[in-house]
Amino acid sequence: MKLIGLSGGIGSGKSTVARMFRELGATVIDADAIVHELQAKGTPLLEKMVAEFGGKILGDDGSLQRKTLGALVFRDPQALQRLNALVHPAVIQEMGKRIQAAASAGAEIVILDVPLLFEGQKRGSGSAALLPYAATVLAYVPRAIQIERTMKRDRCSADEAEQRLAAQLDIEEKKALANFAIDNSGSLAATQSQVSQVFEKLKKV
């Protein structure tokens, strides 16, 4: 079994590319989905987060208010570090379990869809430091298209899209770090054909 890391920048097509890999037969493990599950109402992780940041991060129904939490850590690197120290080990542990399950089920290519993979790779932290990736794949579009698609999908302003992009490593830097880059700036058919080609190459890494 081979572990492949997949990432992208905001609005660059990571989810689209992940879906195409899944359709080709890869097992895809979605780190974002794991985070959401582990932070669901009443979970031990959410309780720890409330102990650290206070009940204000919960809504009336007891579920996590991501916007409130985001605002708390957005301009406070120490708070972000405290949050990550709670969340990351739990996510990595759960990913480990799912990788094991995929291996037991005979999966050949397991793609881990991880939002800040290349940021971690650059800093030597996160899953990039902890998991033995055989290769990494980037869903790539030039910055201008990233902004345009994010604005359209999230109905946000260019300023908001720019601000969210600024919190991530520049897409061109990610491209330099990735073993494979899939250019998603054209049609979905053009992306599909690249995904198929990269999938064949991943079988040989």
Contact between 29 and ligand ATP by CB under 6 A: the answer reads no
Contact between 31 and ligand ATP by CB under 6 A: the answer reads no
Chain residues 71-130 in contact with ligand ATP, contact rule CB under 6 A? none
Contact between 138 and ligand ATP by CB under 6 A: the answer reads no
Residues 137 and 5 sit within 8 Å (Cβ to Cβ): yes
Distances (CA, A) of 49 to 24, 40, 57, 80, 83: 38, 11, 8, 12, 7
Question: What is the distance between the alpha carbons of residues 39 and 22, in angstroms, rounded to a whole number?
Answer: 25
Contact between 11 and ligand ATP by CB under 6 A: the answer reads yes
Among 39, 136, 184, 194, binds ligand ATP (CB under 6 A): 184
Rg (CA), the chain: 17
Tokens of 197: 């080609």
Cα Dmax for the chain: 51
Q: How many residues bind ligand ATP (CB under 6 A)?
A: 15
Q: For residue 189, what are the contacts with CB-CB under 8 A and spacing of at least 6?
A: none
Contact between 5 and ligand ATP by CB under 6 A: the answer reads no
**Nearer Cβ to ligand ATP (103/142):** 142
Contact between 8 and ligand ATP by CB under 6 A: the answer reads yes
Q: Which residues bind ligand ATP (CB under 6 A)?
A: 8, 10-16, 139, 149, 153, 184, 187-188, 191
